[in-house]
Amino acid sequence: MKILVTGGLGFIGSHTVVQLQNSGYQVVIIDNLSNASLEVLEGIVSITGQPPIFEKLDLKSKVAVQTFFKTHQDIQGVIHFAASKAVGESVVNPLMYYENNVNTLVYVLQELTKLKVSNFIFSSSCTVYGQADSMPISETAPIKEAQSPYGNTKQIGEEIIKDTCQVYPNLQSIALRYFNPIGAHKSAKIGELPIGVPQNLIPYITQTAIGKRDQLSVFGNDYPTKDGTCVRDYIHVVDTAKAHVVALQRLLNNENQSNFEVFNIGTGQGSTVLEVIKTFEKVSNIKLNYNIVDRRPGDVVTAYADTSKANKILGWQAEYDLEDAILSAWNWQKTLKKD
C-alpha cells in the first residue's frame, strides 16, 4: 500500500517514514529540501534497508502538485508534514509562513478531494491551545488566539481541513497535535538537524555540550512553576512517528467516527527546563554550561497533554521517557560534525 509523506526528510517526517516502512507500507516522499538534506534519505535506507521513492517537489507549485497526483493515482494515504516551523521566523516573515503552510495545504487538499477516497493525516501542534487554562490539556480545551503566524497557520490548517471535510465526505482526516517532539532514532542514523542556531531547547543543549555553542540561555526562572522555569511535554520522536502509523491505520480501516478527528500526541508528563538540563547531565555525564536570562517573548508557562483520547481511541501511548529521548538526542549529536 502506497503512502505519500510530504516533508518526509524532515525531523518527524523521516522518523515516520521509518515506522511506515517497518509496518510494511510503501512510501513516497516529497520534499523541497529547503530544510532537509538528501543524507536523511541515506539514513532512512540504512535503517530500513528499503529505499523509499523520493521526488524533490515544492508544494508551493500548484501545477507540480496536480502533476504529482496525476502520476501517482495509487496513493492510499497522505501524511502531510511539509511546512515551516520556526516561531520567531514566522513573526518576521508572516507571508512566507502563510504561503508555505497554508497555500500548500490547500493545493494538496484540492487534489485529494478529487479522489474517491482519501486518507489524510495533518501535522498540527499544541500551539493551537496557546496558554491553556488548565492542565493537562485535552482536545476539548478552547483554541486560544494564536501567539504567532506559525501558530496561526496550524489553527487555520485545522479549520481548512474541517471545513473541507464537511463538504467532501470522501476525505477522511486526522490532525495530530504534537507537544514537544525530541530525540532521535536509536540507530543514531537520523535525528534533528536544525539549520543555523537552534531555536529549540534540546538541540541547543546538545550543541552546547558538544562544544558548538558556548552556553545555553535558560529563558526565565521567575515563572509560576515548581522551579520557576517553563514546563513542556517532551515526547520521543519515535513515539510521535508511531502515532502517525496508528492514526493512518484507523483511517484505512474506516474506524474513525467522523471524517475530521484530532488527537493530542504527548507523554502526559510535564518537565521544567531545569529538569531537562538535569536529565541531560545525568544521561550524558556532562556538566552543562547554562545561565538564566530574561523570559523569551511568546513562551507559554506550562503545556502538557491529556493523552487519554489517543490512548483509548488510537490504542497509542508513549513508550519512551524523558531520559530515553534525551539520551537518543545526545547519541545523535555525537555522530554529527562539530561545525
- Residues binding ligand UFG (CB under 6 A): 85, 87, 125-127, 151, 180, 199-201, 204, 216-219, 230, 232, 273, 296, 299, 303
What type of residue sits at position 306?
A: D
Spatial distance between the Cα atoms of 99 and 2, rounded to a whole number of angstroms: 27
Q: Look up 320 and say whether it is catalytic.
A: no
The answer to whether the beta carbons of residues 149 and 98 sit under 8 Å apart is yes
Of 71 and 291, nearer to ligand UFG (C-beta) is 291
Q: Which residues pair with 293 in a beta bridge?
A: 219
The DSSP output letter for 312 is I
Of 119 and 123, nearer to ligand UFG (C-beta) is 123
Of 41 and 265, nearer to ligand UFG (C-beta) is 265
Coil, helix or strand at residue 279: helix
In angstroms, give the least distance from the CB of 69 to ligand UFG.
28
Of 161 and 230, nearer to ligand UFG (C-beta) is 230
The DSSP output letter for 129 is G
In angstroms, give the least distance from the CB of 273 to ligand UFG.
5
Q: Indicate the residue whose CB is closest to ligand UFG.
A: 230
Q: Which residues pair with 80 in a beta bridge?
A: 6, 122
Coil, helix or strand at residue 291: strand
Coil, helix or strand at residue 186: coil
User: Got the DSSP string for 72-110?
Assistant: -TTEEEEEE--S---HHHHHH-HHHHIIIIIIHHHHHHH
In angstroms, give the least distance from the CB of 184 to ligand UFG.
15
In angstroms, give the least distance from the CB of 130 to ligand UFG.
9
Spatial distance between the Cα atoms of 265 and 269, rounded to a whole number of angstroms: 12
Q: Sheet holding 231-232: strands in order across?
A: 271-272, 231-232, 302-303
Of 53 and 197, nearer to ligand UFG (C-beta) is 197
Q: Which residues pair with 78 in a beta bridge?
A: 4, 120
Letter string b/e over residues 227-236, b meaning 16 or more CB atoms within 10 A of that residue's CB: eebbbbbbbb
The catalytic residue among 25, 107, 129, 150 is 150
In angstroms, give the least distance from the CB of 118 to ligand UFG.
26
Of 14 and 119, nearer to ligand UFG (C-beta) is 14
Helices (H), 11-148: 11-22, 39-48, 62-71, 87-92, 94-97, 104-112
In angstroms, give the least distance from the CB of 81 to ligand UFG.
12
Spatial distance between the Cα atoms of 19 and 334, rounded to a whole number of angstroms: 23
Catalytic residue numbers?
150
